[in-house]
Structure 1
Amino acid sequence: MRVEFNEELRMIKDQILLMAAMTEKMLSDSVLALKSQNNELARSVIERDDLVDAKEIELQLVVSQVIATQGPVATDLRRLASTYKIITNLERIADLAVNISKRVLELSDVVYMKRLIDIPRACELAQTLLKLSMQAFVHEDITRLREVVDLEDEIDALNIQIHHDCLAYMIDNTKNIHQGSVFIFVGSYLERIGDHATNIFETVFYIVTGDYIDFNDLDEETIEQTLALQKKINAIENENLTE
């Protein structure tokens, strides 16, 4: 029974990683479409949303079935129940990528008021944050907690910078109001994507420690305690592997 259960867990993890890859590709393509004003690419992102939605439903059903048939307890139950939140956050990231793509279509015939720099940079940071969170999920390792917190702060700062820059262009020329508003929306979408990626890492934190902490409330002492705990876990696992 344990071998079967572990195989089901592995299959679920593989499918979540597939969903994450689909979502990350939608994110990168949506911002690439915005930067290059590629309507065809934007439409393809919008169309792919149905695939992500279907994967979310499929995984919810599989996880529910495993919980019902295997009756997991303690850490196993925490691990399985937490997957609901992970796939929900991935689905919401995909939705926000769709929102960005829809904004691309709004600006299809517009000459941009400025070269896009901060938006693609925010997208790169959001992708990095998502990758870190998914790596933490795969290995159940939260040693990169500090990087996650710093990345979210960087994305937040870029969102503020995008907002300020666009407002300046809109004040300077009222013809820029529409596209300036669109770019502000895109900045806020990317900030929210960063939040969802961080939520995934918070969920992994819960899987590993049994405690759920809003990273906005983290202080230096909590970060150090968490990293020390993860190092102990890694040391124990390494000892078990060498026995």
Structure 2
Amino acid sequence: MTRNKFNEELKQLLNSVRVMGVNLEDTLDKVIANLEQKDAALAQQIISDDDNFDNSEVNIEKQCLELVLTQTPVATDWREIASCLKLVGDMERIADHCSDISQYTLKLIEKEPVPLPDNFMAMLQVMRQMVYDSISAISENDLELANKVIATDDEV
């Protein structure tokens, strides 16, 4: 019975990570689009929404600790929980960068338009796909996709 409860809580943890990831993907899409649009209201929204990522990280860390402290995970479970902890920390940091970019975007609105560097938007799309693939790899336990993300890092 205890293992069933653990599996259910682990499933909830992975779902929380997935939800945070979907929200991050949405934020990345907004930031990327806003580099060209330079919409002040959208930039402010992205900055404000950063608190949601901070809260998600704390909540997911709490879920991880509760699993570890109450359910006696085995080695494979520990690796999955540790991966979730690492991923949510990285996702929160990416959300911080989205907020920082949006703050710069607000400053750019006041300046004369400057063309983005060559291949900049293409690089952002590759990075966005890496985030999507990372989230998918951990939530689907997909080693091949994880290796693809690692290989793609050199491209960026």
Fold match by TM threshold 0.5: yes
Q: Which residue matches 2:102? A: 101
1: CA distance, partners of 2:109 / 2:130: 29
Q: Which residue matches 1:170? A: none
| Seq. identity, % | 28
Q: Which residue matches 1:19? A: 20
Q: Which residue matches 2:129? A: 128
Output aligned runs, 1:27-66, within 5 Å.
27-66=28-67
Cα deviation code 1:68-124 (max 9, x no counterpart): 110112111221133211110110010111111011011112232325653322221
Q: Which has the larger radius of gyration?
A: 1
Output aligned runs, 1:223-234, within 5 Å.
none
The answer (yes or no) to whether the contact 1:49–1:94 under 8 Å persists in 2 is yes
Q: Secondary structure at the match of 2:73?
A: coil
In structure 2, the gaps of 5 or more residues are none
Q: Residue 155 of structure 2 aligns to which amino acid in structure 1?
A: E
Cα deviation code 1:119-165 (max 9, x no counterpart): 3222211111111111111221211355324422222xxxxxxxxxx
2: CA distance, partners of 1:38 / 1:154: 30
Q: Residue 79 of structure 2 aligns to which amino acid in structure 1?
A: R
The answer (yes or no) to whether the contact 1:20–1:90 under 8 Å persists in 2 is yes
Q: Which residue matches 1:69? A: 70
Query: Deviation of residue 29 (structure 1)?
Result: 0.8
2: CA distance, partners of 1:3 / 1:64: 18
Query: Deviation of residue 31 (structure 1)?
Result: 2.0
TM-score (norm 1): 0.60
In structure 1, the gaps of 5 or more residues are 156-243
Q: Which residue matches 1:114? A: 115
Residues 1:77 and 1:147: Cα distance change in structure 2 (over 3 Å): closer
2: CA distance, partners of 1:146 / 1:63: 25
1: CA distance, partners of 2:86 / 2:69: 18
TM-score (norm 2): 0.91
Q: Secondary structure at the match of 1:12?
A: helix
Output aligned runs, 1:152-163, within 5 Å.
152-155=153-156
Q: Secondary structure at the match of 2:144?
A: coil
Q: Which residue matches 1:3? A: 4
Residues 1:14 and 1:145: Cα distance change in structure 2 (over 3 Å): closer
Residues 1:36 and 1:116: Cα distance change in structure 2 (over 3 Å): farther
Cα deviation code 1:136-195 (max 9, x no counterpart): 11221211355324422222xxxxxxxxxxxxxxxxxxxxxxxxxxxxxxxxxxxxxxxx
Higher relative contact order (CA 8 A, sep 6+): 2
1: CA distance, partners of 2:27 / 2:59: 19
